[in-house]
A and B are shown apart, each in its own frame.
Chain A
Amino acid sequence: MFYREAGQFKSSYAADQAAFPIAQDRIFIGIWLLIGFVAIPLLSNEYLFRAIFIPFLILALAALGLNLLVGYCGQVSLGTGAFMAVGAYAAYNFWIRIPGLNPLIAFVLAGGVATLVGIVFGIPSLRIKGFYLAVATLAAQFFMDWMFARVGWFTNYTPSGSIAVPPISVFGFEFDSPVRRYMLCLTILVLFAIVAKNIVRGRIGRGWMATRDMDVAAEIIGIRPMYAKLSAFAVSSFFIGVAGALWGFVHLGSWEPLAFDINRSFSILFMVIIGGLGSILGAFLGAAFITVLPLFLNQLPIWLGIEISTAMISHIEFMIFGALIVFFLAVEPLGLARLWQIAKEKLRLWPFPY
């Protein structure tokens, strides 16, 4: 009874095709935007921004990008870390080689470079599917790891191979405090989420989903598989590239190629799978699950007043985390977004049985 669409009459197709046609959803999104833009900046401290909120936002952006590719277009990719690295190093090179370049423009250009690289590594998807494609994208991962570690030009020949950037400033506005960086990431994430939602509810998104579900039938009604797959790789890589640039410039500040290794690819793929394939909400839920849960597990013994050595805590953390992932996938293979969907269907009727 809390989630009833009864009485909400839509008298035009425009209203029915709105991003959130049901009033409760609009209220819900509004509340989350208020929490994100007002409550969190007012209430949280520096540690929370650095350790939780900023990484969460950036990884959610990357997960959103990957979900467009894996969840909506059905093309498995293990190259997320590589595309993030391309974004970060491209942004660095634009920023260092074009004096006075606005960092936001550098991020967009970096996304563009990641798009091109994504299209190149997406070409195998025209011939191969599933696990084979995953292995092909893995090649992107290893190639990029090698390239950024070995080719000095990308790191501007720094002897250590690591890169350091000062806090970015846009039109004289310094993003030096955590809360300002948080607001920057949140704004970018919200804009990208809107774009993602718009793409997946339009012609391009339907083309991706059709290619995912039944590629032969998709081609027969006029969706070119080449266009659908490569556009999914392109858009996804743009999102991931911008996320990579933010990860380097806004979250880390200084990094080396290890920051974007294969573990990054896996953790973002886990976010997408646990959050829910083919769901925008899923990318957020998955990113929250993967970034917040380890910290929560880490803090739990301290709150409970149990004395355990730090090494032991991190071991237990890994075990519980792994067990939870297996548990979630066994109980709900379609991810947290599906659980939320079921909850909504139940809330429609609750407390009545039918």
Chain B
Amino acid sequence: MEHSRSLGEPILSMDEISLSFGGVNALSNVSLHVREHEILAIIGPNGAGKSSLLNVINGVYHPSKGTVTFKGATRAQMRPHEAASQGIARTFQNIALFKGMTVLDNIMTGRTLKMRAGFFWQCIYVGKARNEEIEHRHKVEEIIDFLQIQSIRKTPVGRLPYGLQKRVELGRALAAEPDLLLLDEPMAGMNIEEKEDMSRFVLDVNDEFGTTIVLIEHDMGVVMDLSDRVIVLDYGRKIGDGTPDEIRSNQDVIDAYLGVTH
């Protein structure tokens, strides 16, 4: 699949990242670059360190060694909310929506960092607080339209089927208007039709908003079709980095993960 946009400079660089839990090395000396506007897929067997890598990027885990450079700023450690304010959003492998809240409220939480009205104005809900709610509602409604979930906007997310919950979670991440979007297995557990829809959304987000996307996915068909570049992890090490075609013919990757058709 060809994209019309051009890839830019690296927006995110990870340099010699190591991460260990006790004696287990989740990541060892992983270096990678993510270029602006690209779709980068991370693949690898279970326990290879893919989710840990995402957790390092948005500050949930602090690497024991190495640096992360995002938009020109290098940092060793940061809190997740700081990553959020720098423009990194993500979805989770196991859906992490706010179950007691409606779809609308869930997506509105994605706008939190862009809202400014003070406590006092919120208490009386006039002036600034009210205007701000309405202004952000416009943006949220655009996302609801984009994801085609208009009919469920007032439904508590706990009542929605799995595929729609995944979509709402994507909506919540998009509401933050991120520069870098991390998707942890966005198509896990979906049927073919839902996967096609989700793939379309991922491509559209990339095309229309120019968002850089890093995704973890196990469905090789999806990975090879969507991504501009693929990185392969195995036992916390990077064993492959290249275009889908290069990865497909990389012998290390075939041995570790892809296998051969008999």
Which residues of A come within 8 Å of B, CB atoms?
A: 12-14, 16-17, 19, 195, 198-199, 201-204, 206-207, 209-210, 212-214, 216-224, 231, 278
Who on chain A is nearest to B89 by CB?
A221
Q: Which of A202, A214, A224 contacts B122 (CB 8 A)?
A: A202
- B212-236: CB near A (< 8 Å → 1, else 0) gives 0000000000000000000000000
Given contacts A195-B123, A202-B122, A206-B108, contact A222 B100 (CB under 8 A): no
Contact status A213-B90, CB under 8 Å: no
Contact status B123-A221, CB under 8 Å: no
Contact status B110-A221, CB under 8 Å: yes
Contact status B122-A209, CB under 8 Å: no
Q: Which of A17, A19, A220 contacts B84 (CB 8 A)?
A: A220
Q: Which B residues, 163 to 204, have Cβ-Cβ distances below 8 Å to chain A?
A: 172-173, 176
Identify the stretch in B18-26, B131-139, B243-251 within 8 Å (CB) of chain A at 4 or more residues.
Answer: B131-139
Given contacts A13-B138, A210-B101, A218-B109, contact A202 B133 (CB under 8 A): yes
Contact status A219-B79, CB under 8 Å: yes
Most buried by A among B100, B115, B119, B141: B100
Given contacts A14-B130, A214-B97, A222-B84, contact A203 B124 (CB under 8 A): no
Contact status A202-B125, CB under 8 Å: yes
Contact status A219-B81, CB under 8 Å: yes
Given A195-B123, A198-B129, A219-B79: 16 more A-B contacts, CB < 8 Å: A199-B123, A203-B122, A203-B133, A210-B98, A212-B98, A213-B97, A213-B98, A213-B99, A213-B100, A214-B96, A214-B99, A217-B92, A217-B97, A221-B113, A222-B176, A223-B109
Who on chain A is nearest to B172 by CB?
A221
Can you give 19 contacting A-B residue pairs, CB < 8 Å? A12-B134, A13-B137, A13-B138, A14-B130, A17-B137, A198-B123, A203-B112, A206-B105, A206-B109, A210-B98, A210-B101, A217-B98, A219-B84, A221-B110, A221-B113, A222-B81, A222-B84, A222-B113, A231-B119
Q: Contacts of B100 on A, CB cut-off 8 Å? A: 209, 212-213, 278
Q: Contacts of B60 on A, CB cut-off 8 Å? A: 216, 220
Q: Once bound together, how far apart are the Cα atoms of A248 and B109, in whole Å?
A: 39
Q: Is B155 interfacial (CB-CB < 8 Å)?
A: no
Q: Is B58 interfacial (CB-CB < 8 Å)?
A: yes
Q: Contacts of B97 on A, CB cut-off 8 Å? A: 213-214, 217
Contact status B109-A210, CB under 8 Å: yes
Most buried by B among A13, A16, A202, A216: A202
Q: Which of A17, A199, A203, A217 contacts B96 (CB 8 A)?
A: A217
Contact status A220-B83, CB under 8 Å: yes
Q: Is B149 interfacial (CB-CB < 8 Å)?
A: no
Most buried by B among A209, A212, A217, A278: A217
Q: Is B210 interfacial (CB-CB < 8 Å)?
A: no
Q: Is B66 interfacial (CB-CB < 8 Å)?
A: no
Who on chain A is nearest to B101 by CB?
A209
Given contacts A202-B125, A206-B108, contact A221 B176 (CB under 8 A): yes
Count B-side interface residues using an 8 Å CB cutoff: 41
Who on chain B is nearest to A74 by CB?
B100
Who on chain B is nearest to A212 by CB?
B100
Contact status B124-A195, CB under 8 Å: yes
User: Which 9 pairs between the two chains have the least Cβ-Cβ distance?
Assistant: A222-B84, A217-B96, A213-B98, A198-B125, A222-B113, A13-B137, A202-B122, A219-B80, A203-B115
Q: Contacts of A206 on B, CB cut-off 8 Å? A: 101, 105, 108-109, 112
Given contacts A17-B134, A213-B100, A221-B112, contact A203 B117 (CB under 8 A): yes
Closest Cβ of chain B to A76, distance in Å, is 16
Q: Contacts of B84 on A, CB cut-off 8 Å? A: 219-222
Q: Which of B81, B122, B130 contacts A223 (CB 8 A)?
A: B81
Q: Contacts of B64 on A, CB cut-off 8 Å? A: none
Q: Once bound together, how far apart are the Cα atoms of A202 and B118, in whole Å?
A: 11
Most buried by A among B58, B108, B125, B129: B125
Q: Is B150 interfacial (CB-CB < 8 Å)?
A: no
Q: Contacts of B79 on A, CB cut-off 8 Å? A: 219
Q: Is B85 interfacial (CB-CB < 8 Å)?
A: yes
Q: Contacts of B117 on A, CB cut-off 8 Å? A: 202-203
Given contacts A217-B97, A217-B98, contact A204 B119 (CB under 8 A): yes
Given contacts A220-B84, A221-B176, contact A207 B134 (CB under 8 A): no
Contact status B112-A198, CB under 8 Å: no
Contact status A220-B123, CB under 8 Å: no
Contact status B125-A218, CB under 8 Å: no
Q: Contacts of A202 on B, CB cut-off 8 Å? A: 117, 122, 125, 129, 133
Q: Contacts of A209 on B, CB cut-off 8 Å? A: 98, 100-101, 105
Q: Contacts of B85 on A, CB cut-off 8 Å? A: 222
Q: Contacts of A220 on B, CB cut-off 8 Å? A: 58, 60, 80-81, 83-84, 89-90
